[in-house]
């Protein structure tokens, strides 16, 4: 009986010790998870320790970087221009459906590729114009691209009930046409034709607007004539930026169209001015892709669009804060760069957000206080100069034979805005 009691006592002591150890481990894991969540949910890079609720005008400040020389910027731009000249198709366009890989983005033929090629050609035209290169061969390349747009752009349509990639073509062609409008102002007949084509593209955006306002590139819902898909914050913002540029040259932009689009973005905007990926995303606001780290590539374009359309809450302080966030926490975007699978990186970031996000950051830089611009230009130029490929291109996501062209175009338009006046 004595041994039996001693054995029972030992078992009780062992059980108590086991429970205590288990409790300590669980508490440690909870503390670790809490710390990790605080660290990674906001994409903290260690520059700043944030306390209290998130704010649209507080966040990390990007550390200073060396100021790139004007010569380095011009040399880089020149390399990018040469790449685009070399890769222009014989018919004047840029990009193709070639260079497939094991995992390809859903792109039903031929309509998806009509849209991709029109969008990429538009970006390349805009980039060559923005480069300021006055050489005859550059002018000829722009003219050939312009002729291709006039011939093929009016026929770009939705590929299937699901795929609405044509919205990218409508938006970026409007921007290219506006840039083209600024060339040869003495040719009034040409200008009339350009404005007519812009108006046709505005009408197409009206046709493919989602039922809840704004735009998307998929309709996974009812596949209706008026897309029933969930509008996407950054697609909507991309279109709004293009429409704002068209408005500047006197094109008619339906107010109902922009009002619905702005309302859609507001529904997706969080208090700290990160933006949900889509309308559906607002029901899961703390999903990684909807957190600040996942919004780095979206917040720039969404803030810009809201600013251009005079949203009172989108102040210069908001633009400045999110530019600082972009450069202080840039690795959250960079970790997704060149990964072949969309949304496989931290915060579900896809590679194709990289140069897209920095292009709209360049446009935001133009709208912050003049005293703030130089340091952001330094950050942007410093980053882009270090990422240029040996052939003069930039790319962030393998996409058939479009990625080097669109990546280079985005980078050129960004670098051109890093020139000091």
Phi, psi of 122, rounded to the nearest 5 degrees:
-60, -45
Yes or no: say if 174 and 242 are a contact pair by the CB < 8 Å rule. yes
pLDDT at position 339 is 96
- Locate 204 and state its tokens: 């197409």
Residue indicated by tokens 């962030």: 396
pLDDT at position 221 is 93
The architecture in CATH of the region 70-416 reads Alpha/alpha barrel (1.50)
Would you give the DSSP letter of residue 278? B
pLDDT at position 421 is 73
Yes or no: say if 130 and 179 are a contact pair by the CB < 8 Å rule. yes
- Tell me the DSSP string of 19-51: HHHHHHHHHHHHHHHHHHHHHHTTT--SS----
Tell me which residues of the chain have a pLDDT lower than 70. 1-54
Pairwise CA distance, residues 217 & 255, whole Å: 22
Yes or no: say if 272 and 56 are a contact pair by the CB < 8 Å rule. yes
pLDDT at position 22 is 55
- Locate 40 and state its tokens: 């990674």
pTM above 0.85, yes or no: yes
Question: Reduced to 3 states, what is the DSSP secondary structure of residue 53?
Answer: coil
Residue 221 CB burial class (10 angstroms; 0-12, 13-18, ≥19): middle
Domain map (residue ranges) of the chain: 70-416
pLDDT at position 103 is 85
Yes or no: say if 93 and 50 are a contact pair by the CB < 8 Å rule. no
């Amino acid at each position: 009986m004595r041994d039996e009691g001693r054995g029972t006592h030992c078992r009780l002591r062992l059980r108590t010790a086991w429970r205590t150890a288990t409790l300590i481990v669980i508490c440690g894991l909870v503390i670790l998870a809490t710390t990790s969540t605080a660290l990674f949910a906001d994409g903290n890079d260690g520059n700043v320790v944030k306390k209290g609720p998130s704010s649209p005008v507080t966040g990390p400040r990007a550390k200073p970087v060396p100021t790139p020389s004007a010569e380095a910027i011009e040399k880089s731009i020149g390399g990018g221009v040469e790449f685009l000249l070399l890769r222009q198709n014989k018919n004047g366009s840029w990009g193709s459906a070639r260079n497939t890989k094991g995992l390809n983005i859903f792109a039903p033929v031929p309509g998806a590729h009509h849209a991709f090629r029109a969008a990429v050609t538009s970006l390349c035209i805009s980039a060559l114009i923005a480069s300021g290169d006055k050489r005859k061969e550059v002018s000829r390349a722009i003219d050939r691209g312009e002729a291709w747009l006039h011939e093929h752009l009016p026929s770009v349509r939705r590929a299937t009930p699901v795929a609405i990639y044509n919205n990218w073509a409508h938006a970026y062609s409007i921007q290219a046409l506006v840039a083209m409008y600024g060339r040869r102002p003495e040719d009034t007949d040409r200008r009339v034709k350009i404005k007519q084509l812009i108006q046709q593209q505005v009408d197409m955006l009206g046709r493919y607007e989602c039922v809840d306002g704004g735009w998307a590139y998929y309709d996974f819902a009812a596949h209706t004539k008026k897309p029933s898909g969930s509008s996407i914050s950054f697609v909507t913002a991309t279109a709004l930026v293009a429409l704002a540029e068209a408005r500047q040259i006197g094109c008619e932009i339906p107010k109902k169209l922009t009002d619905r689009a702005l309302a859609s973005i507001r529904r997706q905007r969080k208090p700290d001015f990160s933006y949900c990926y889509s309308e559906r995303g607002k029901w899961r606001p703390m999903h990684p892709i909807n957190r600040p780290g996942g919004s780095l590539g979206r917040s720039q374009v969404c803030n810009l669009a809201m600013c251009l359309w005079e949203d009172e809450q989108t102040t210069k302080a908001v633009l400045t804060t999110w530019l600082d966030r972009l450069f202080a926490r840039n690795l959250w975007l960079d970790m997704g760069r060149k990964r072949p699978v969309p949304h496989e990186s931290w915060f579900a970031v896809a590679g194709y957000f990289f140069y897209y996000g920095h292009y709209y950051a360049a446009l935001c830089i133009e709208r912050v206080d003049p005293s703030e611009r130089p340091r952001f230009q330094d950050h942007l130029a410093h980053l882009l100069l270090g990422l240029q490929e040996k052939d003069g291109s930039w790319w962030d996501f393998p996409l058939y034979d479009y990625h080097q062209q669109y990546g280079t175009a985005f980078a050129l338009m960004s670098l051109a805005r890093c020139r000091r006046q």
